[in-house]
Amino acid sequence: LKVSRDNIVDWVLFESSANPSDEFCETLISTLERMLVLKSWPDKINSWSRSWAEAQAVFLYETFLYIVAALSKTGSFGSLHDIFVSRYLWPETESRGKNQLDSFHAFHATSETLQILANEGRKLCAPAAELISRQADRADLPFKEIIQAEVLILLMSLIEPNTPWYPQTLYYYSQSGPLPFFARVAQHRYFKSIVQITGIDSADKIRELLNARFQQRNSLFNINEVSLREIMNIDAWDTL
């Protein structure tokens, strides 16, 4: 599956390295939607367990992180906005009633099966992230950029309604200070990228929104004793 991940990421990097077209963005969104079938109830099967599709679900989760990292690397912030605000149609085999459309939350995944990666006598906090860290062998998108991509996804999950997202790769971030993308956003010219991604043109408005969400979900924001406020550098946005 790692080969498939890399093929998709190579395509995204190639297409978005120039000025990405609307056609590319629509194709990317369509591709992500079609990939939901990998973690869905198979057609013509009467009995099925979600655990049987854990490998495919983790592949989709990992690939989504890499796509976000690739679009960030090429500065395709408009495309990022589009994939974050789009709604994705689950396959008809999924019994979701009226809720057939889902946010990017659909691409999140966990896996208890991957506890087999833990050392003897130990238990992993985020087994899926452990696998992703072990498979992070691309020189053009090192694991730190994958963590950064997941923090960006988390930012959008706090802004977009009904899009829970638990940032599993943050268990593997042990440095102090902001991630590079968020450190640069202190400058006005780089803050424009946040405006494109979020659709909100005021740093104060975003800070106000995030502060409210932090209070509601503060159980998420102490992973490895690293403050997300510090990692995102939000108090310094658009101040230089």
pLDDT number for residue 107: 97
pLDDT in tens, 18-45: 877 889 999 999 999 999 999 876 766 6
Contacts of residue 129, defined as CB under 8 A and 6 or more positions apart, other chains included, come to 168, 169, 171, 172
Question: In 3D, which of 220, 221, 190 has the Cα closest to residue 203?
Answer: 190
User: Which residues, including other chains, have CB under 8 Å from residue 223's CB and lie 6 or more apart?
Assistant: 167, 170, 171, 173
All residue ranges of the chain with pLDDT < 70 are: 41, 43-51, 95-98, 217-226
Summarize pLDDT for 161-184 with one digit per residue, the tens: 888 899 999 989 888 889 999 999
The Cα 153–Cα 103 span in angstroms is: 12
Residue written as token pair 């977009």 = 160
Percentage of the chain modeled with pLDDT above 90 = 72
> pTM of the full predicted structure?
0.93
